[in-house]
Every structure is written in C-alpha cells, then in structure tokens.
Amino acid sequence: MENNSSNRPKNKLTFNQILAFVAYLGIGFIAIALILTLIFENNISLSNVFRTIGEVIAYLISIFLAFFWVKTHPHKAWLICYVIFVVTIVVLYILTVI
C-alpha cells in the first residue's frame, strides 16, 4: 500500500489544517476577550448560564483542534503561543466565573 500523503505537495493545506488554524486563532481571540472581561469586571448572572456553557464547549473544541494544528507545526513559537493562550483562557475564565 502506498502512503497518499507522500503524493500531496507539502504546501497544500487540507480542510482539517485550516480548521485547526482557525481554532488556534480563536483561542487567541478568546484569551483577549477574557482579559477585557476581567478588566471591565463583567458581572455574571443566572441568565448567562447558557452563554457560559456554550463558551466552555467552544473553548474546549477550539483548544482541542488548535492542539492538533500546533502538533503538525513543530516550530516552538507556535507551541509557546498555544500554551500561553490556553493558560490565559483557563485562568481568566475561572477568575471571571467565580
């Protein structure tokens, strides 16, 4: 059996790579949004429960997909930014919810 990935040019992006890169950018924007929320001290009320659940799901999916994008791009700068984004999201999200 032949490996089909050897026939594909290295510069050609697949749908999964594009989706993973968008998720990588998404976690960066989420981290920034959480920083701004913390700065403006947004109050969480009961009506925001559904929004919060949706955000958590979106964050987890974005973090998960972004991990695979970073895994396919071995440059250390991508990994460092990814770790910073994820830690920022987790810490600031916990601080804004509590």
Annotated domain spans of the chain:
14-97
pLDDT, position 8: 57
Closest CA to 32 of 98, 96, 88: 88
DSSP 93: H
| Whole-structure pTM value | 0.59
3-state helix, strand and coil shares in percent for the chain, rounded to the nearest 5: 80, 0, 20
Alpha helices in 1-98 (DSSP H): 15-40, 49-72, 76-97
CB 84 within 8 A of CB 28: no
Name the band, by pLDDT with cuts 50, 70 and 90, for residue 1: very low
pLDDT tens per residue across span 25-76: 888 877 777 777 677 665 554 345 556 666 777 888 888 889 988 999 889 9
Question: Residues, the chain, total?
Answer: 98
